[in-house]
Amino acid sequence: MDMMLQGRVAAITGPAKGMGASVTRAFAEEGCLLALLARDTGAVEPLAAELRRDGRECLILPVDLTRSEECERAAERMLSAFGQIDILVNVAGGSGPVGKSGVETDPAEFDEIVALNMGGPFNMIRAVLPAMMARRYGKIVNVGGTFGMRGRAGRLGYSASKWGLRGLTKSFALEAGPYNVNVNCVAPGMVDGPRFRDKVCAEMAQRLGITPEEAAARHAADYALGRITTDRDVAQACVFLASDVSRQITGVDLPVDGGWAAL
């Protein structure tokens, strides 16, 4: 399907690794002009070089998403370079404390993950939304997580930050809707990759005395479709919600988890 994104300007945070790289490639394949925002710009250079070899236009911008003034400067530079910002995809985020109860979680740890997972998207949306509203066009996609839909023991900071991101998404959707700006949230479940295989599965395997492959199969069995989500699954959902194909969808939480959070 033609997602009608050719020539659109897409800003992507956290574009360098894993899910972020897949999201970036997916928008490049649709013909978007790309603004890649990251604190560590050196980590983005290899991907940008790859895309440029394929004829894609990429602008790399340094930004600490927890600092509102840096997000505003990044938005100004995008507007200067491209003249408009059509799409913002907030991929960047962190995991926060893992395996700690709420009582065991240090307040500084909690504040840090909330500042990144909630504050980062807030700062970027706040920076780009005025230009979108002025043009009466824009698509904003926040990448949340299913632990922000069902909660998770031992992941209080992360879960709370992703629950908050859902509220942020819905409030911005209501405020931006009259200006023809859609704001949605994609909620990945467990995503296959090095972290899932080398950490999540390895820890389960050690705890239960099974192989990592058996641990992965146990995770897959929790989902209605019986398989683990891939980076590409998440990327395609982001492309869908950033396109005019989904023009009448705003304020939604879209689980991309094979059937876990919503079932």
Helix (H) or strand (E) holding 33: strand 33-38
CB 171 within 8 A of CB 118: no
| Strand pairing report for 87-90 and 9-13 | parallel
Beta bridge partners of 182: 139
Q: Can you list the alpha helix ranges (DSSP code H) found in the chain?
A: 18-29, 45-53, 68-82, 107-114, 120-135, 147-150, 156-176, 194-195, 202-208, 212-221, 231-241
179 classed as catalytic? no
Annotated active-site residue in 137, 158, 179, 223: 158
Report the C-alpha gap between 263 and 258 in whole angstroms: 10
Q: What residues act catalytically?
A: 158
